[in-house]
A and B are shown apart, each in its own frame.
Chain A
Amino acid sequence: MTATLGYPQLRNVGTASKRLTAGLPPITVILSFAVVLLVILWSLVPWLFTSYSPVTGDTASKLAAPSAQHWFGTDYLGRDQFARVVYGTASSVTSALVAVLIGLVIGSLIGLASGFRGGWLDSVLGRFVDVLLAIPGFLLAVVIVSSLGFQTINAAIATGVSAVAVFARLMRAEVMRVRSATYVEASYLEGGNRLHALLGHILPNAYRSVLVLAVLQFGTSILIIASLAFLGYGDPPPASDWGLLVASGKTYVTAPWLVYAPALVIVGTVLSVNRISRWLRKAK
């Protein structure tokens, strides 16, 4: 134990308040929020964004290039590709939300119990988490989907299960970090019990990192679900999950927009989500 604290530690007192009163977030973050908002709206009220149907099309205008009437062109059945993308958002994005929720809730509970209780509970839960980590995430998702049936919702559950381990690890690390903080010990001296320490101090200090991870995992889940759909493990046609759109579009080499349009939408969405996650991490 050193006799005095190093001086560099005392320096940053004023800067915290500066950061908190800083103005608007950077432009890329605002754009990212706009994109995510748009995507969420697509999934909730797709009919507001397009008047075309995603399932029926006019075969006379099949495989048409992007134009003013068909922003993303048409596919081999003459269906408007933009409408297909918009209507496919619901399952692509909502399923990602489901996946994150599963991972977040179950993983956090495990991490909380592990980190707070320690002892044999930690060892047992630790092994369980190790097992989930040992099986490659994508493979585990594939196996679970193949057991439950080829539907996007099952893909979501599968993705969620493979995310549990990541959340559990982080929550455990955060809980253990905060648990040994001085202010937690102080709360015991002030008459607090363990439950109070957990709910009043540990959780409020631990949840921030977990939240950042949740946003990041949202993006990752979109990718995994799109990949599963690409392989054909999601809802079958005429569903228009983004991954499935890419898969069915790739055989039409003369109509590259069938691949690029959904691909760009995927990349754009995940890029925005990642940007938001990075911003949250810095603003902690």
Chain B
Amino acid sequence: MTSDYKRFALTRAGQAVVVVLLAYVLTFLVISVLPGDAITNTLRDPQHGLSEEDIQRIVAFYGLDQPVIVQLLLSLGRFLTGELGFSLQSNLPVSRIVGDALPSTLTLATSALVIAVVFAVVIAYGAQYLPGKWAAIVRSIPSFFLSVPNFVIGLVLIEFFAFRLHSFTTTDPNSPVATLFAAITLAIPVSAPLAEVLIASLDHESRQEYALVARSRGLTEATLFAKHLVKPSALPSVAMVALIVGELLGGSVITETIFGRDGIGTVVQKAVTGEDQPVLQAVVSLSAVVFVAVNLVADLASPLLDPRVKLREKVAA
């Protein structure tokens, strides 16, 4: 590892930490803008069945009777030590709620990511190598994917495959087939920007002089694609994949609701309707951590994949 790279890695990592902290603060400020005594309302809601003692303990724990800044610092301090607080609705530790919900969402998100990449590659390859009219149709697919809201996709898939074809039932959301369809729902809007970036890269690289020169050496289109076009086209796509992680997390809220899955998305749903701030705070902050971490990995990997990437910001002349 060269020292340039080490410096680059440290700078990026440092920036990542700053961003996570700021994200936490921003989320906290937004959430705590709740008018008036909403927290106390939630706490005192007889549905939640908390005793006066419990309520006082919670108030003390979160510093709810103190100014916002103090609450923020308390909360941030705890976050940094991994302590995520307790749900206002159920009094369960947030970490447990999140932990229970995580596997379902992870399965969903990873399958969706894989499917999205497959879709994107197939679309991009088709756009490049299919004959004229078909290629034009394929090229407009990403735009179409972006025009359909994912709840419509989900409902249509359920209508068709669950109710008509009985491929799966909505009562068992964690069955492989149900998960597959949920993943497809989540993958479709996410695959669109990925496909567009891939298509643009392939178009760009295919028109480069070196592609012409390689063809002049008798390379077939297939070999050209594999040996020359894939690598430089893959690089902007890797960056895009990192950005997509955010879309996956966001889209899971609706997808899980529709398919009745018990994941992070459903947790968020419940927390919003129940005005359960600690849970919301924790989920959003953790999402930011995941996003920043994935992007950091992508950033650190890019100089290794592309020898041209400059590690130092050029000084403006």
Contacts and interface: CB of A to CB of B under 8 A. Distances in A.
A219 B159 CA distance: 26
A118 B147 CA distance: 36
Contacts of A267: 147-149, 152
Contacts of B284: 135, 139-140, 143
Nearest to A118: B316
A191 to B, nearest CB: 21
A136 B316 contact: no
B30 A144 contact: yes
A135 B316 contact: no
Given A227-B150, A246-B155, A263-B152, A134 B292 contact: yes
Nearest to B156: A263
Interface in A117-165: 118, 127-128, 130-131, 133-140, 142-148
B305 interface: no
A253 interface: yes
Interface residues of A, number: 44
Contacts of A246: 151-152, 155
Contacts of B247: 136-138
Contacts of B135: none
B144 interface: yes
B260 to A, nearest CB: 12
A274 B30 contact: no
Interface string A228-242: 001111000000000
Contact of B152 (A118, A128, A143, A266): A266
B158 to A, nearest CB: 9
B194 interface: no
B155 A259 contact: yes
Given A118-B316, A139-B268, A267-B147, A134 B23 contact: yes
B250 A146 contact: no
Interface stretch (B13-21, B85-93, B95-103, B123-131): B13-21
A148 B35 CA distance: 8
B73 interface: no
Contact of B23 (A131, A146, A147): A131
A62 interface: no
Contact of A136 (B149, B159, B287): B287
A168 to B, nearest CB: 15
A136 B291 contact: yes
A275 B288 CA distance: 32
Contact of A146 (B146, B254, B280, B288): B280
B31 interface: yes
Contact of B253 (A139, A144, A278): A139
Nearest to B280: A143
Contacts of B250: 136-139
A209 B280 CA distance: 35
B117 to A, nearest CB: 19
B71 interface: no
Given A135-B287, A246-B152, A267-B152, A147 B254 contact: no
B249 interface: yes
A226 interface: yes
B144 A271 contact: yes
Interface of B: 15, 18-20, 22-23, 26-27, 30-31, 33-34, 143-144, 146-152, 155, 159, 163, 243, 246-247, 249-251, 253-254, 257, 268-269, 272-273, 275, 280, 283-284, 287-288, 291-292, 316
16 contacts: A127-B19, A131-B23, A135-B27, A136-B246, A136-B287, A138-B251, A138-B253, A139-B284, A139-B287, A223-B147, A227-B254, A230-B151, A232-B273, A233-B272, A259-B152, A278-B143
